[in-house]
Structure formats: C-alpha cells, structure tokens
C-alpha cells in the first residue's frame, strides 16, 4: 500500500467518524484511532491550544504507541527561543501551517521539546503536525508519527492536511450543535422555570400534575395540591419597592422548598402564589404540611434592615375528590386559599360548593353593570352619634343592590365584585350623585347633617375623581362640610404615595376625611401622621368583641388614645349594645355607629327615623344653612 493510498483510506474512514461522532471527546479519540489502526501510523494525538499564560498545548486524545510520550514535557505554543517554542506542533499552531519532519534521525535534537531518544524508543521516525483551524483561528493540532523515515511526502501530507481540516470542521460542527443545545436548554428553562426563584412555573406545574394524576390513577392513589398565597406582597412592593417584593418571594420560595423536601415539588404559579404537589398523599398529610408551612413561612423576613412578619394562606385540593385535571386541582386549591384567609389557622381544604358560587359571582358581575345603569341600586344611610352629647352628628351613605331575582345582595360581596370587574368607578359615580342629591334635600330643609361616602382604592386612582366631586359641589351649591369621605386603611396602603396625593386634593376641597376599618390594615404611624385626615373609624370587629376579648379591648383603647394624640376624632363602628356604648364613653371615644345607635335605612326614611329616635339632633341641625 502506497503512502498516498493509506492516507486516502485514513481520510475516508475519518469522514465516516466525523459523521457519526456525537461529542467532541469521542470525535478526537476516534480520529486518532482511525489514523493509527486504518492508516497504519505509529501514533496520533490531538492537542488544544490554550490561552493561559504558558500557552499550554493540552493533549486531548491519542492512539497508538504513546507510552507516556505526551507527559514527558510541557507542550507550549508560546513564542520564544526554547525547544518547546520551536517544536513542530507549536510551530504548526502559531503559523497555521503544516509542519513535517520527514526524518527525525537527521535533525539536531534541540528543535524538539522531547529528546529524540524518547521518539526513537517508541519507533517514531517521521512526524507531521497539522494545525486545526476554525474560522481562521487555530484551536489546536493533530500530530501524526510514522515509523518510516520517508513518510509524509507531499501527496500524503496534502491528504492528511485535508483530514485535519475535516476534523476541525467536525469540531466546529459539534461545538455549534452544543451551543444550539445549550440555547434550546435555556429557552426551555425560561419557558418552564420562573426567572426569579428558578422554581418550575405554571406551565411546568401543569405538565407535572398531568403526569402525577396519571400515575395516581394507575396506582389508585390520592394526591394533594397545596396553593400558598403570600399576603402583603403588593403592599411590600408598593411601599418598599419591587426589589423588596422580590426578596419576599425568593425568601418564601426557599422556605417552601425546605419544607417540601425532595418528594414534593414546589412551583411558582402566580406573582404571589406557590403550589406544592404532594403525590400519594391524603388530606391529613396535606393538612400537616400546610400547618408546618404556615409556621415556617410566617417567620420574620428582614426588609431593608427591618424585620417584618409575612402573611400567607393555603388552600388544599385533592385528587380525585376535587378534580382529575391539573386545571381543576389548581383552581380549586386557589379558591380554598381565598377561603383560608378568613380562617383562624389560615389553611383549609377546598369545600365543594365554591364553584357554583364562582359561577353565580360571574353572573352577578355582568349584571352589576346594567344594575348601575338601570338604577337597581339604592342609597341607604346609617346614623353616627356623638357619644358625649348623644346627638346625631352625621350619617354614612351605604349602597344597596336590590336584585330582581336574588333580592338584596350583600353589600360587601358586590363591592368586592365591582372592584374585581372594574366597575367601582361607575358605582362610585352613582353613589356620589345619590348622596349629593340627598345632602341637598337635607340642606334645603335646613338640616345640617354631614353625609359620608365610601371611596375604594380604585377611586383614588381615578384621575377624574376630584373634578367630579368639585363639579357636584358646584352643581348643588353645597358647603364642603356636608359631604365627607371614608377611605379604608387597606385602600390607602395599596398605593400609599398616590393615595396621599388624592387625599391632599380632597382636603383642599374643604371636606372631612375618615380612615375606615382602622386596625385591620398595616399603615405605619409615620404614614398616618402625613395624611390630611380628620378621624379614625375603628373597625367593627374590634369594637363588637372589646368586652369579651382582651386583645380587642387594647386595640380600641389604644386607637382612641392614638387618634387623640394625633389630633384626630375617633369613631367606633359596630356599636351593637348599650354595654359597648358605655365602655366607649368611658374610653372617651367621640362617635358611635352601629345597630345600637341605628341600622342602615333607606335615606328617604331617615327624617322619620330620627323623629322617633332617642337621639337628639345636633344644635346646628335646626339652623337653616343658607
Ligand atoms: P363600612 O364602610 O365599614 O360600613 C359599615 C358596615 O358595617 C356596613 O356594612 C354596615 O351595614 C355595617 N354595620 C353597621 N352597624 C353595624 C353593627 O352594629 N354591627 C355590625 N356587625 N355591622 C354593622 P355594609 O353596608 O354591608 O357595607 C359593607 C362595606 O361595603 C362598607 O363597610 C364599605 O366598605 C363598603 N361600602 C358600602 N357602601 C359603599 C359605597 O357606596 N361605595 C364603596 N366604595 N364602598 C361601600
Ligand atoms: Mg365606611
Ligand atoms: Mg368600616
């Protein structure tokens, strides 16, 4: 076999290797093997030119009679006058050209990094070093030794150089394939994992659940899905910034992973929602995990140097009882999580009727819009009485919805619906108009009775709110003290800075402002001090229980003191009994509202009610205001 022939055989076998190789290391190894076994060469090796300080040539693969040859010295492609630098491999890499030494017996030893004797001992008589070039850059070498001193003539060298080029091409292709694979992996990761917590996301949890459901079905097992909703996320993001909100989520993710352990997967399924999937689990096991999770996740988190207790609530749904699709299980766990907010332990199992409830809510939502347009709403009002003088000092406007089929809809329910459906603004417009009309009627009769109107968080974001209210004052020519506004603490905390701005504008109109449901939100004292408000209304949950619950008693007592210290009036809501009234009098609370004082009634019946009530009209009441 001529040298050219063996080179040709090597070339074509090399090409087959190129086609088959799946990864770089195997490709290099296979090429060396083919060169030696099919080409009949003594040894072949591939090195990569590194860009470290010593410009190391790192042997990557070899085949044939090597016997430790590649570890005898340090191969380097650095410039210089050393044997390393002037060796054929280094020269091939630096120059990008093939270097051939046809007869090793006829060159001075000094040109080689390793003594010639070492080569002779291994039967190397000639060598050819080929650069491996990818896109103009030499990435390494392929060096071949032959036993025949006259090997590597021009024809053979040309063919082998072609093979070295093919090898470089093969390496480039594999590297490109690897980059594609990595890019695909990144894209896949982005599609299935949450960027902030690196937990599986909603799409991913859907797939995992589908697999787990199928598995559970096969094994006749039950399984549980826990959905944890993190409380205060919006509030923390709004007041402390998105970074702190993210910090809360990352912290929660870590804690949940710790709780879940290796057999349950945790996923982030919403901005402030996590799911824990518990294969082969019963309701009891799920409740135990929920109980444990509640304790762990509510430990304080440090925000900007301050420790704050996070809030959370958990809903649990079970396969097969609550559904057999990922969507149904997640949806029902979420419904349960909303319910859990109202429970003492803050976690609960899904209870069957909620879906019918949700459908009813959806229907109501669509009907509310036309109810507003078609005047199915009614304006009720509830008296407020000054505690020290027992005089009626105002009334609160409360909207009612008289549904043609369902009768009177609970106000709390449809206000929440309106908030969800973006219907608060038309609702508020309706209430404002009705309240101003009523105020005007009282004003005309010479009754000075301030009427307070509730505003929601969304109203505070309505850019036309202030214009609408000042327009109404102008239309009815009413003095500003006859209309007041109540804003819940939690509405203010949804956007504290924006709320402050709107409150300042409202205050500029000369109206009185109340903070409603005080005590159940989380406003800070420093924020409160900045607000241009006149009174606090203590939430009725504290007032109604103040005689039986020491904690509530402390809250009522200290809110009265706090309000007075800040120069604010204090109203107690939910005054349902005389005993409560007496206690509030002792505490020096200013105003009472509640069933003991008077229930909400249609506004047109208010005068009649007042005439028969034990409360007297405030002295200013009979004085005509105009
Ligand atoms: P709120 O502003 O705190 O209104 C007081 C609520 O307590 C009223 O419920 C009232 O009927 C109820 N209440 C009055 N006296 C007592 C009592 O002695 N004991 C107890 N347990 N409750 C008492 P209502 O009318 O169902 O309204 C619920 C909430 O809906 C209101 O709470 C208010 O936040 C909102 N709301 C009512 N009307 C409007 C409105 O026109 N616009 C807006 N944006 N929200 C409204
Ligand atoms: Mg109110
Ligand atoms: Mg209230």
The model's pLDDT over 523-564, given as tens digits with 9 standing for 90+, comes to 666 788 889 999 999 999 899 999 998 888 988 998 999 899
**57-64 and 43-49 strand pairing:** antiparallel
Ligand 1 atom with the shortest distance to the CA of 410: 26
Rounded Cα distance between 60 and 337, Å, is 58
Query: Which atom belonging to ligand 1 lies closest to the Cα atom of 459?
Result: 44
In whole angstroms, give the CA distance from residue 36 to residue 295. 67
Give the pairing of strands 391-403 and 451-455.
Answer: parallel
Alpha helices in 325-410 (DSSP H): 326-340, 354-373
Helix then strand then coil, in percent of the chain rounded to 5, is 50, 20, 30
User: Distance between CA 173 and CA 175 in Å, rounded?
Assistant: 5
Residue 366 in this model has a pLDDT that exceeds 80: no
The span from the CA of 181 to the CA of 175, in Å, is 10
% of the chain beyond a pLDDT of 70: 95
SS3 58: strand
Name the residue of 454, 545, 591, 595 to mutate for ligand 1: max ligand atoms within 8 A of Cβ.
Answer: 454
* Residue 108 pLDDT: 64
- Give the pLDDT of residue 232: 78
Residue 522's pLDDT is: 64
Domain boundaries, the chain: 3-180, 202-351, 361-617
Ligand 2 centroid to residue 602 C-alpha, Å: 16
What atom in ligand 1 is closest to the CA of residue 453? 41
SS3 378: strand
Listed in sequence order, the residues at least 6 apart from 560 whose beta carbon sits closer than 8 Å to its beta carbon are: 538, 570, 587, 588, 589
Q: How far is the CA of 592 from the centre of ligand 1 (A)?
A: 14
The Cα 126–Cα 91 span in angstroms is 16
- Which is the closest atom of ligand 1 to the Cα of 428? 42
CA-closest residue to ligand 1 atom 37? 398
Cα of 37 to ligand 2 centre, how many Å? 91
* Nearest residue by C-alpha to atom 21 in ligand 1: 574
Burial 40-57, CB ≥16 within 10 A → b, else e:
bbbbbbbbbbeeeeebbb
Band (353; pLDDT cuts 50, 70, 90): low
Overall size of the chain counted in residues: 626
- Specify whether the CB–CB gap between 547 and 555 falls below 8 A: no
* Residue keyed to tokens 């005054």: 575
Q: Which ligand is nearest to the CA of 537?
A: 3
Instruction: Count the neighbouring beta carbons within 10 Å of the beta carbon of residue 254.
Output: 13
User: What atom in ligand 1 is closest to the CA of residue 595?
Assistant: 18
CA 414 to centroid of ligand 3, rounded, Å: 16
**Smallest Cα–Cα separation from 219: which of 142, 271, 279?**
279
Measured CA distances, 155 to 103, 247, 485 (Å): 17, 67, 98
Question: pLDDT (tens digit, 9 = 90+) per residue, 372-423?
Answer: 888 889 999 999 999 999 999 999 999 999 888 888 888 887 887 888 777 8
Determine the distance separating the centroid of ligand 3 and the alpha carbon of 183, expressed in angstroms.
55
Q: Is 618's pLDDT higher than 70?
A: no
Q: Contact 395/381 with Cβ under 8 angstroms?
A: yes
Poorest-pLDDT segment among 168-177, 450-459, 514-523, 565-574: 514-523
Residue-level pLDDT at 427? 94
Distance 539 CA to ligand 2 centre (A): 9
Q: Give strand ranges (E) for 52-136.
A: 57-64, 99-101, 126-134
Which CATH class, in words, describes the domain spanning 361-617?
alpha beta
| Closest atom, ligand 1, to C-alpha of 486 | 2
More confident call, 187 vs 210? 210
- Distance separating alpha carbons of residues 586 and 410, to the nearest angstrom: 34
User: Which DSSP helix (H) or strand (E) runs through 567?
Assistant: none
- Which residue's CA is the closest to the ligand 1 atom numbered 26? 411
Angle between helices 24-37 and 3-20 in degrees, nearest 10: 160
569 pLDDT above the threshold of 50: yes
Nearest CA to ligand 1 atom 7: 574
Q: What pLDDT sits at residue 623?
A: 34
Contact partners, residue 13, CB within 8 Å, separation at least 6: 34, 38, 39
Q: Which CATH class is domain 3-180?
A: alpha beta
Structure confidence at residue 423 (pLDDT): 85
From residue 414, give the alpha-carbon distance in Å to each of 99, 369, 592, 626.
87, 11, 26, 38
CA–CA separation, 291 vs 345, rounded Å?
8
**Cβ partners under 8 Å of residue 51, min gap 6:** none
Pocket test of ligand 1: the residue of 385, 435, 540, 599 to mutate, having most ligand atoms within 8 Å of its CB, is: 540
Alpha carbons within 13 angstroms on the beta-carbon side of residue 494 total 10
> Helix (H, G, I), strand (E, B), or coil: what is residue 457?
helix
Atom of ligand 1 nearest to the CA of 456: 44
Enumerate the β-bridge partners of residue 377.
401
**Around Cβ 73, how many Cβ atoms within 10 Å?**
15
Is pLDDT larger for residue 428 or for residue 3? 428
* Ligand 2 centre distance from Cα of residue 583 (Å): 22
State the Cα–Cα distance between residues 380 and 407, nearest whole angstrom.
16
Rounded average pLDDT over 599-608: 95
Residue 29 burial (CB count, 10 A): 18
Ligand 1 mutation target, pool 398, 421, 579, most atoms within 8 A of CB? 398
> Is the separation of the CB atoms in 376 and 408 below 8 Å?
no
Q: Are 596 and 578 in contact (CB under 8 A)?
A: yes
Q: Indicate which residue's Cα is closest to atom 19 of ligand 1.
A: 574
Chain center to CA of 90: 54
Taking CA atoms only, the protein residue closest to ligand 1 atom 15 is: 594
Reading the block at residue 581, the tokens are 């009234």
pLDDT band at 355 (very low <50, low <70, confident <90, very high): low
367 CA from centroid of ligand 3 (Å): 26
Q: What mean pLDDT comes out for the span 284-304?
A: 87
**What distance in angstroms lies between residue 70's CA and the mean position of ligand 1's atoms?**
87
- Percent of the chain residues topping a pLDDT of 90: 59
Residues 475 and 68: their CA atoms lie apart, in Å, by 101
Name the CA dihedral angle for 438, 444, 447, 449, rounded to a multiple of 10 degrees. 30
Q: How far is the CA of 494 from the centre of ligand 1 (A)?
A: 20
pTM over 0.75: no
pLDDT band at 354 (very low <50, low <70, confident <90, very high): low
Residue list, ligand 1 pocket, CB within 6 Å: 382, 397-399, 411-412, 415, 428, 431, 454-456, 486, 516-517, 540, 544, 573-576, 594-595, 600
How many C-beta neighbours within 10 Å does residue 426 have?
Answer: 14
Q: What separation in Å is there between the alpha carbon of 423 and the centre of ligand 3? A: 20
CA nearest ligand 1 atom 25, residue:
398
Using the atom order of ligand 1, give the atom closest to the CA of residue 418.
Answer: 44
The closest residue, in CA terms, to atom 33 on ligand 1 is 454
**Is-contact 230 249, C-beta < 8 A?**
yes
pLDDT above 90 (res 283): no
Mean pLDDT of 426-432: 95
Please identify, in words, the CATH class of the domain defined by 202-351: alpha beta
Query: How many C-beta atoms surround the C-beta of residue 299 within 10 A?
Result: 11
Which of 384, 402, 410, 411 is the pocket-test mutation for ligand 1 (most atoms within 8 Å of CB)?
Answer: 411
Query: pLDDT tens-digit profile of 212-245?
Result: 999 988 887 889 999 999 987 877 788 788 888 8
- 574 pLDDT higher than 90: yes
Q: Determine the atom of ligand 1 nearest the C-alpha atom of 488.
A: 34
Report the nearest-CA residue for atom 42 of ligand 1: 454
CA distance 11 to 31: 10
Atom 8, ligand 1: residue with shortest CA distance: 398
Report which protein residue has its CA nearest ligand 1's atom 45: 454
CA of 398 to the centre of ligand 1 (A): 6
Helix (H, G, I), strand (E, B) or coil at 112: coil
Between 333 and 343, where is the model more confident? 333
CA of 309 to the centre of ligand 3 (A): 25
**What is the dihedral angle through the alpha carbons of 161, 164, 168, 170, rounded to the nearest 10 degrees?**
120
């Amino acid at each position: 076999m001529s040298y050219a022939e063996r080179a040709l055989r090597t070339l074509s076998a090399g090409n087959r290797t190129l086609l088959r190789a799946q990864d770089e290391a195997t490709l290099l190894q296979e090429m060396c093997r083919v060169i030696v076994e099919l080409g009949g060469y003594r040894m072949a090796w591939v090195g990569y030119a590194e860009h470290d300080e010593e410009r190391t040539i790192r042997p990557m693969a070899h085949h044939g009679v090597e016997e430790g040859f590649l570890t005898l010295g340090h191969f380097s492609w650095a410039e210089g006058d050393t044997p390393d630098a002037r060796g054929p491999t280094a020269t091939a890499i630096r120059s990008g050209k093939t270097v051939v030494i046809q007869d090793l017996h006829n060159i001075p030893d000094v040109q080689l990094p390793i003594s010639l004797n070492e080569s002779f001992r291994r039967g190397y008589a000639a060598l050819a070093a080929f650069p491996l070039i990818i896109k103009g850059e030499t990435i390494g070498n392929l060096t071949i030794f032959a036993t025949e001193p006259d090997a590597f003539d021009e024809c053979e060298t040309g063919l082998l150089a072609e093979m070295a080029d093919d090898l470089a091409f093969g390496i480039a292709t594999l590297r490109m394939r690897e980059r594609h694979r990595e890019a695909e992996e990144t894209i896949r990761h982005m599609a299935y994992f949450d960027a902030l917590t690196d937990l599986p996301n909603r799409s991913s949890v859907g797939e995992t659940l589908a697999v787990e459901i199928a598995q559970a079905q096969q094994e006749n097992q039950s399984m549980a899905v826990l959905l944890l909703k993190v409380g205060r996320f919006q509030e923390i993001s709004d007041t402390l910034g998105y970074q702190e909100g993210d910090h809360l989520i990352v912290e929660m993710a870590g804690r949940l992973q710790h709780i879940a352990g290796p057999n349950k997967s945790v996923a982030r399924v919403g901005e402030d929602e996590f799911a824990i999937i518990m294969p082969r689990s019963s309701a009891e096991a799920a409740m135990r995990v929920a109980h444990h999770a509640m304790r762990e996740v509510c430990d304080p988190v440090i925000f900007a140097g301050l420790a704050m207790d996070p809030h959370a609530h958990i809903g649990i749904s079970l396969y097969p009882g609550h559904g057999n699709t990922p969507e149904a299980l997640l949806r029902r766990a979420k419904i349960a999580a909303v319910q859990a907010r109202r429970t003492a332990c803050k976690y609960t199992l899904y209870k069957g009727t909620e879906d019918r409830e949700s459908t009813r809510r959806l229907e109501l939502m669509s009907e509310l819009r036309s109810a507003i347009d078609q005047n199915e709403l009614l304006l009720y009002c509830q008296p407020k009485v000054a505690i020290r003088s027992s005089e009626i000092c105002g009334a609160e406007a409360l909207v009612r919805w008289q549904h043609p089929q369902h009768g009177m809809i609970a106000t709390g329910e449809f206000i929440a619906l309106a908030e969800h459906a973006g219907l608060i603004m038309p609702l508020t417009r309706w209430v404002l108009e009705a309240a101003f009309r009523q105020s005007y009627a009282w004003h005309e009769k010479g009754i000075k009775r301030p009427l307070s109107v509730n505003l929601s968080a969304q109203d505070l974001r309505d850019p036309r709110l202030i214009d609408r209210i000042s327009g109404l004052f102008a239309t009815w020519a009413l003095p500003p003290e006859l209309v007041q506004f109540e804003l819940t603490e939690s509405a203010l905390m949804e956007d504290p800075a924006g709320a402050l701005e709107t409150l300042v504008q409202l205050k500029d109109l000369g109206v009185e402002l109340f903070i409603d449901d005080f005590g159940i939100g989380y406003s800070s004292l420093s924020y409160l001090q900045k607000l241009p408000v006149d009174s606090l209304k203590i939430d009725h949950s504290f007032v109604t229980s103040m005689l039986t619950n020491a904690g509530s008693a402390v809250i009522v007592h200290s809110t009265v003191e706090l309000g007075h210290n800040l120069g604010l009036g204090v109203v107690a809501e939910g005054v349902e009994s005389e005993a409560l009234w007496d206690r509030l009098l002792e505490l020096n609370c200013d105003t009472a509202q509640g069933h003991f004082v008077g229930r909400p009634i249609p506004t047109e019946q208010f005068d009649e009610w007042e005439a028969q009530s034990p409360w007297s009209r405030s002295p200013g009441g009979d004085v005509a205001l105009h």
